[in-house]
């Protein structure tokens, strides 16, 4: 297990004074990045090997959001690595040890040259180790986009062009930015307690995304599509945050 402590910043809060869902995802991503860097297998080290990690999916279950100035602990632990896939849990706890959020994620180890999956290096497996899965409901990776839209509220939103501010160090759209873009399309009355994300294709500088929004009750699905209707990413928001 790897962890670090933090304090919720003003810049990470929404208008209600609580941590935003995007900031929560960023905490989790940063936690795994910190672990990799501290183990000597971070971004630059993998660049020298000609490899990198890409995330395939997220599931984040929100139990209670922390608010401005709260002290929190963010933790991650790999629980299964085989072939070119790695599975990681994350969680955030309050200063008193209360679980605030739990997450599951699936990652692929790929070649930086052609984005093909490659077997995870044994020394990396040894460095990360494995821990038991945390106790949460595991929903799986795939998110279904409704084909029969009867009973759904459906709309298309304004197209989004990929600019520099959406990119990360790997020069593709940062994982959290897909969630940020999708969250910006939520109706004002939707405050999710579960977020699922499926990444289907990487988006790069200059690409254009065409958002499609589907809503049925407390379930909202946002598809960020290319000009042919294929998905870069699908983001599902469900439930009401307490």
> Which domain CATH number covers 172?
3.10.129.10
Position 240 scores a pLDDT of 67
Asked whether residue 104 falls in the same domain as residue 195, the answer is no
Position 241 scores a pLDDT of 55
What tokens does 38 get? 């501290």
Asked whether residue 72 falls in the same domain as residue 160, the answer is no
Share of residues in the chain with pLDDT > 70 (%): 98
Is residue 147 included in any domain, yes or no?
no
Alpha-carbon separation of residue 227 from 56, 150, 160, 206 (angstroms):
22, 24, 11, 13
pTM to 2 decimal places: 0.92
**pLDDT single digits (tens) 52-95:** 999 999 999 999 999 999 999 999 999 999 899 999 999 999 99
Asked whether residue 202 falls in the same domain as residue 107, the answer is no
Task: Tell me the residue range of the domain where 208 lies.
Answer: 153-238
Position 168 scores a pLDDT of 77
Position 7 scores a pLDDT of 98
Asked whether residue 166 falls in the same domain as residue 121, the answer is no
Position 191 scores a pLDDT of 80
Asked whether residue 101 falls in the same domain as residue 157, the answer is no
Asked whether residue 98 falls in the same domain as residue 44, the answer is yes
**pLDDT single digits (tens) 121-132:** 999 999 999 999
CA distance 94 to 97: 5
Position 65 scores a pLDDT of 95
Asked whether residue 194 falls in the same domain as residue 90, the answer is no
Is residue 137 included in any domain, yes or no?
no
Asked whether residue 124 falls in the same domain as residue 158, the answer is no
Residue 189 has pLDDT above 80, yes or no: no
**pLDDT single digits (tens) 112-164:** 898 899 999 999 999 999 999 999 999 989 999 988 888 899 999 999 999 99
Asked whether residue 17 falls in the same domain as residue 114, the answer is yes
What tokens does 2 get? 């790897």
Residue 242 has pLDDT above 70, yes or no: no
- Mean pLDDT, all residues of the chain: 93
**DSSP-derived secondary structure for the chain:** -EEEEEE--GGGB-TTSBB-HHHHHHHHHHHHHHHHHHTT-SHHHHHHHTEEEEEEEEEEEES---BTT-EEEEEEEEEEEETTEEEEEEEEEETTS-EEEEEEEEEEEEETTT--B-PPPHHHHHHH---PPPSS----S--PPPSS-TT-EEEE---EE--GGGB-TTSBB-HHHHHHHHHTTS-TT---SEEEEEE-S--BTT-EEEEEEEEETTEEEEEEE-TTS-EEEEEEEES---
* Phi, psi (rounded to 5 degrees) for 183: -60, -30
Position 40 scores a pLDDT of 96
When divided into structural domains, the chain yields a total of: 2
Position 159 scores a pLDDT of 94
Asked whether residue 60 falls in the same domain as residue 113, the answer is yes
Is residue 144 included in any domain, yes or no?
no
CA distance 164 to 154: 30
Asked whether residue 120 falls in the same domain as residue 41, the answer is yes
Residue 202 has pLDDT above 90, yes or no: no
Is residue 136 included in any domain, yes or no?
no
Position 234 scores a pLDDT of 97
Asked whether residue 18 falls in the same domain as residue 124, the answer is yes
């Amino acid at each position: 297990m790897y962890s670090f402590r933090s304090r919720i910043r003003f810049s990470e809060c929404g208008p209600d004074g609580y941590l935003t869902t995007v900031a929560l995802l960023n905490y989790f991503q940063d936690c795994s990045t910190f672990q990799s860097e501290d183990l000597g297998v971070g971004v630059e080290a993998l660049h020298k090997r000609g490899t990198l990690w890409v995330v395939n999916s997220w599931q984040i279950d929100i139990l209670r959001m922390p608010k401005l100035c709260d002290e929190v602990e963010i933790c991650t632990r790999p629980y299964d690595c085989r072939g070119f896939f790695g599975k990681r849990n994350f969680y955030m706890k309050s200063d008193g040890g209360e679980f605030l959020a739990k997450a599951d994620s699936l990652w692929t180890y790929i070649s930086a040259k052609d984005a093909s999956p490659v077997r995870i290096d044994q020394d990396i497996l040894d460095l990360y180790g494995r821990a038991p899965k945390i106790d949460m409901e595991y929903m799986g990776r795939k998110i279904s986009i409704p084909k029969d839209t009867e009973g759904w509220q459906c709309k298309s939103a304004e197209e989004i062009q990929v600019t520099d501010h959406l990119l990360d160090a790997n020069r593709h759209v940062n994982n959290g930015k897909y969630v940020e873009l999708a969250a910006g399309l939520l109706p004002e009355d939707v405050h999710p307690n579960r977020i699922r994300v499926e990444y289907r294709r990487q988006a790069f500088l200059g690409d254009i995304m065409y958002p499609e929004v589907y809503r049925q009750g407390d379930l909202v699905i946002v598809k960020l599509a290319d000009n042919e209707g294929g998905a870069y990413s699908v983001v599902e928001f469900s439930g009401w945050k307490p």
